[in-house]
Amino acid sequence: MKKTFFVLASITILSLLPFFNSQFFYTQDHIFIARLQQMSTALSDGHFPVRWAPDLRFGEPLFNFYAPLPYYLGAMIKLFGFNYIWVAKILFILSSFLSAITMYIFCRQLFSGRAAFLAAALYVWAPYRAVDLYVRGALSEAFAFIFFPLIFYTALLLSQKVSWPRLSFLSLSLAGLFLTHNVTTLIFLPFFTAWLGYLIWQRANLKLIFPFLGAIILSAGLASFFLLPAIFEREFIQTKYLLVGYFDFRAHFVAFYQFFSPVWGYGASLWGPIDDMSFQVGLVNWLILILSLGLGFILRQNKKLLIFPGFLFFLFFLSIFLQHNKSAFVWEAIPLMAFIQFPWRFLAISIFIVSILGGVLAEHLKNKLFYAALFILTIGLNIQFFQPRNFVEDSFFDKFLNADSMHRGMDLTKDYFPIWVKFDRVEYFPTPRANSGEIEVSSFEKKTGRAVGEITVLSESEIEVPITYFPGWEVKAGGERINLSEPSLQGLITFKLPPGEYQIDLALKNTPVRMVGNVISLISFLLVLGFYVKFHKIA
């Protein structure tokens, strides 16, 4: 076990060396720093489950819609005294190292240890992994790679022997992906379904449908505190910011030659076939595919041996097809796919499948020199990509950590604007103000999901509070709940009060769908815990 851990750490560490620099580096997305800070702030304020980011402009329901698991983990790491920059670095490092471990564990169930090591190396050294780490800075997507092999592995275990612990293990793995990255979940589910179908066919056991379905239901239950609000309260956010303009999927299909091109860049995905970033599958990965085809030709007489690699080839070319503009009719026919935004995100599936094929190849070709050559090529051809464009001073991140900067909306996306925000120009003010009438504010204190203050209303007033309205916000004045007025043009909470002195209390309450989601998650967690206590060993 120690030897395995050492080998996987050795394989992975070279791809992560820039993260150990005293400085962080520039990527396309640094908002994960602000998300980490907001998650920690919310938890320290006692807000759980975290749904609200209090300092993004006037507050936004970020974690009601944005999968929170990596950020919960980041908040735990922060407790050990790391600053937010190092918390982010540690999360990226974990994403690669844990991906190598889960890929090894899955492929070790299928192949020998040497084949599993090669599969793990292919998985962490694929060029698209470098894109996520050093170009895009896609923290959540990088973390999602941990769950692809883990989910395939736990489904394989369940198909081999149905038991409550194995069903729970698959449920936890699926729930982990649900809570890590929404888009990657959409991308992965069709391929996961195909994997379940393959396992049912391989075992010639239609009854496996029931434990598989049970695991899926239980996983959705575990994640329902997030999934139900994310689905049923989506109508309360301006999804246009997720789908139009630059984020229209039609602008980001991959030209066929780009899958082979070794050209590298640190820019953006652009309209048309000329882009400033790479969408290559990887030269060594194409070599793996070619050699696998050759192996298939050699073994063509043994139909049984060809079924599994043939299935993997089908999944791989499906993932490639969905990135090419010839698949536009599929994207148009399934409106939900528009939320994927960038078809090249299916490269995550492509490299996952190729890595498994690398294990198949290593399992059947026993020549040690050939195996060593594949290992050397995997790292040698790709190491040039695993480096950043440039490092930046820590002060670069101040705008993502400073509350005043975040209140002004500096470089923040508009992904989860509530529908009541009529314009996005931020005119920030820290305390309640009167849109009509006259008031005096003695005190006002905001925390995540809660605000209290003392106000003297001199004449009947419509009061605007510096908190974005979203369903669930309630206001009490003098201990009595009051009706809210139409939110202001900036989407802020407003209400009317007659003359008098008031203690006002604002709180973000659970809506019925959030309450149901919380209860279902709690029940599901208790079920899994009960299965573990009763069957504490995975059979």
What is the per-residue pLDDT across 49-107, written as a single tens digit (0 to 9) for each? 999 999 999 999 999 999 999 999 999 999 999 999 999 999 999 999 999 999 999 99
Is the model's pLDDT at 508 over the cut of 50? Answer: yes
Higher pLDDT among residues 531 and 289, named by residue: 289
Q: How confident is the model at residue 537 (pLDDT cuts 50, 70, 90)?
A: low
Q: How confident is the model at residue 536 (pLDDT cuts 50, 70, 90)?
A: low
Burial of 226: CB neighbours in 10 Å, binned 0-12, 13-18, 19+: buried
Hey, CA dihedral for 59, 60, 63, 66, is it positive or negative?
negative
427-431, 442-446, 494-498: least confident range: 427-431
| Domain presence at residue 484 | no
| Domain presence at residue 137 | yes
Residues in Cβ contact with 133 at an 8 Å cutoff, skipping those fewer than 6 apart: 15, 16, 92, 96, 142, 386
Q: Rounded to whole angstroms, how far apart are CA atoms 460 and 437? A: 6
- pLDDT in the model for residue 538: 47
Query: Percent of the chain scored above 70 by pLDDT?
Result: 98
| Domain presence at residue 132 | yes
* Helix/strand/coil for 31: helix
| Domain presence at residue 27 | no
Token duo for residue 246: 């630059």
| Domain presence at residue 114 | yes
Residues in Cβ contact with 246 at an 8 Å cutoff, skipping those fewer than 6 apart: none
In which element (H, E) is residue 464 found? strand 450-468
Token duo for residue 255: 């030209």
Domain that holds residue 322: 67-388
Convert the pLDDT of each residue in 298-338 to its tens digit: 777 777 778 999 999 999 999 999 999 999 999 999 999 99
| Domain presence at residue 19 | no
Whole-number average pLDDT of the chain? 92
Convert the pLDDT of each residue in 330-365 to its tens digit: 999 999 999 999 999 999 999 999 999 999 999 988
| Domain presence at residue 335 | yes
Hey, CA dihedral for 62, 129, 348, 4, is it positive or negative?
negative
Convert the pLDDT of each residue in 422-440 to its tens digit: 876 778 899 999 999 999 9
Q: Rounded to whole angstroms, how far apart are CA atoms 97 and 95? A: 6
| Whether 44 contacts 449, CB under 8 Å | no
How many domains would you assign to the chain? 1
Mean pLDDT, residues 34-52 taken together: 95
Mean pLDDT, residues 175-183 taken together: 97
Q: What is the pTM of this model?
A: 0.94
| Domain presence at residue 271 | yes
Convert the pLDDT of each residue in 104-154 to its tens digit: 999 999 999 999 999 999 999 999 999 999 999 999 999 999 999 999 999
- pLDDT in the model for residue 409: 72
